[in-house]
Amino acid sequence: MKRVKATVAYDGTNFAGYQFQPGMRTVQSEIDKALVKVHKDKSIYSVASGRTDAGVHANGQVIHFDTPLSLPEDRWMMALNVLLPKDIRIVGAEYVDKEFHARYSATGKTYVFKWSYSEVQSPFERNYAVHLGRWRPDVQLMREAAEQIIGTHDFTSFCSSKTATSNKVRTVRTLTLEEQEQFLIMTIEGDGFLYNMVRTIAGMLLAVGIGWNTPDDIRKILESRDRKKAGKTAPAHGLYLDSVTYD
C-alpha cells in the first residue's frame, strides 16, 4: 500500500460541511465515493487535515489515502476529478511517506475571510463574500485590534461552546487585513484553529471596525475566557481554508 497526499479545492455552498454525515451531501462523502469507484474497493477512504462547516470553501484542503494502485502522481487528479462533482476538484497529488498524516502532520493552516464593499452585491458574489451593505469599517482600527490576537493565547472566548477539546490554547502567527478592489480580505495563519475560531475573530474585528467595540476590548475579551463576551460569529460563506502547511 502507498500513501497519496492530495490537495482539494471546493465550493462549500451546496455541502452540509466537509465531514461525513449520514443522509447529507458532504465533501468527504463525495471524495470517498470517487475513491471507492477508482479502487472498486469499499474499504478505501480519505483522511483530511480538518473539517469545515456548511458553506465554508477551500482552496487548499489536504487529504491522504492509502492505495494499492500504482498510478503516476499526475494521473490521480484526472482519475478522481472525472468522478467528482464539479464543485470539488483535486488540484494536486503526490506520493508521501506512510508516516505522513493529513491532520496530525500539519504544522499550520491559513484561512481567508472576505467581505464585499459593493453597493449592490452581485448575485455571483453572494455565496463567496459577506456583503457589508451600508457599513464601511475603519480598517486601521481593525488592524490595531488584530495585533491583540496575534500570539499564543487561550482562545476560549473566540470559539464555539461546542468545541470538543479542553485545550483552547492556540498560536496565531500572522493576521492581516487588506483592501483589494471591492473586497476587504482578512488572512490569518496559525498552528491550528478551534471550532468557529476564525469566524468569531472575523466577527469581532468587524465589530471594532464599525465602532461597536474598541481594539482594547479584544484583549479584555481574550483574558475573560468567556464566549458570551465576544460578538456574533461571522457567516460561513465568507470563509476559505486557503492552505495547510507541513514540515
In 24-116, alpha helices (H): 27-39, 73-81
- Cβ-contact 30, 80 below 8 angstroms: no
Does residue 32 carry a catalytic annotation?
no
Angle at 226 between CA 52 and CA 112, to 5 degrees: 30
- For 131, the 3-state DSSP assignment is strand
Active-site hit among 32, 53, 217, 242: 53
Identify which of 159, 129, 134 has the alpha carbon closest to the alpha carbon of residue 222. 159
Identify which of 206, 193, 192 has the alpha carbon closest to the alpha carbon of residue 235. 206
Residue type, 184: L
Residue appearing with cell numbers 479542553: 166
Angle at 76 between CA 72 and CA 77, to 5 degrees: 130
Report, as residue numbers or ranges, the catalytic residues.
Answer: 53
